[in-house]
Structure 1
């Protein structure tokens, strides 16, 4: 009986085909697992909360007396809860003060971080560093760096600012 030899090119091609199929299956499974991982969903929620928090805090520190209604509307659109109600109730008086002072304030986000995120309750907290510039007539612009803490609440239209305050500054001495 004659011994039949396998063609080495055919053997190599079959081996490469099997290796490619295994690699494709592993890659597909890895992609599917990553796309449906709770960690990825949590990271997306964190990123959405941070982006909304940074924007809302920037909005709350930007106001032009010449376009007051649009600025105050943006403040109200960026907030919810008690903070929103306070802004609505104080809008007229605050508008008078800004118009009289003729100030223009602009804010630029320097850095931000989510410090808390509770997806189940729809609550988050952010720490945002801003550079705020206030311009008043016949005065040099005043520039101040500030750190603000914001609390966010998830609403049907996305994350909204529900509280805002100054972040405490740490002591420069080690104690």
Structure 2
């Protein structure tokens, strides 16, 4: 091996080591970047919020206990406590009404997120297909604000409020 070849091999090795060091440093900095954790938390809260709001707007009259259980699974805190306390009354009222509903979130966005505290606020538009007993299905559009909390089982709804839709020209 000539002196020139040895020098080129050493130079190539030095460049490779330098590249690995720079790439490792960039990777380490990216892993420490707080904005990545924030973005992951934001995406998880939004996805779970969409799913939970749809669940809270869905009920099959043929499987009321399952639907009420899904409502409890989708909620936590004060909302969960309220749903649990009124479950028997809700079962009776919903059975008597005989109406099924299927909610689909058409759009949603987080309006606030504190990923360290595990809280978020969300707005959503929901298309609700309502089918009365023996009747024809109708579709209603609703808007909601929701407060979410991160639990061991993921993000759940702690408060859900309907947003009134304004009248045209008002």
Structure 1 gaps of 5+ residues are none
Does the CA contact (< 8 Å) of 1:127 and 1:167 recur in 2?
no
Equivalent position to 1:102, from 95, 98, 109: 98
Tell me if the contact between 1:132 and 1:143 (Cα under 8 Å) persists in the aligned partners. Answer: yes
Report the Cα offset of residue 44 of structure 1: 1.7
Is 1:70–2:62 an aligned residue pair?
no
2:86 counterpart SS class: helix
With 69-78 and 120-129 compared, the bigger mean Cα shift is at 120-129
Structure 1 residue corresponding to 2:11, chosen from 8, 11, 15: 15
Return the alpha-carbon distance in structure 1 between the equivalents of residues 164 and 132 of structure 2: 28
TM-score, structure 2 as length reference: 0.85
- In structure 2, runs of 5+ residues without a counterpart are none
Partner of 1:130: 126
Q: SS state of the match for residue 116, structure 1?
A: strand
Structure index of larger Rg: 1
Instruction: Work out the CA distance in 2 between the residues paired with 1:171 and 1:17.
Output: 72
Answering whether residue 41 of structure 2 is matched by residue 42 of structure 1, we say no
> Structure 1 residue 15: deviation in Å?
3.3
Q: How many residues align?
A: 169
Q: Which residue of 2 aligns with 1:150?
A: 146
8 Å CA contact retained: 2:42, 2:115: no
Contact 1:134 1:142 in 2 (8 A): yes
Counterpart position of 1:121: 117
Question: Residues 61 and 28 (structure 1 numbering): CA distance in 2 closer, same or farther, change over 3 Å?
Answer: same
SS in 2 for 1:114: strand
1:112 maps to what in 2? 108
CA RMSD of aligned residues (A): 2.4
My pick for the range that moved more, 160-169 or 33-42, is 160-169
Partner Cα separation in structure 2 for residue 106 and residue 16 of structure 1 = 64
Shift of the 171–65 alpha-carbon distance from structure 1 to 2, 3 Å rule, reads closer
Give 2:135's aligned residue.
139
Partners of 2:36 and 2:11 lie apart in 1 by 35
Aligned to 1:53: 49
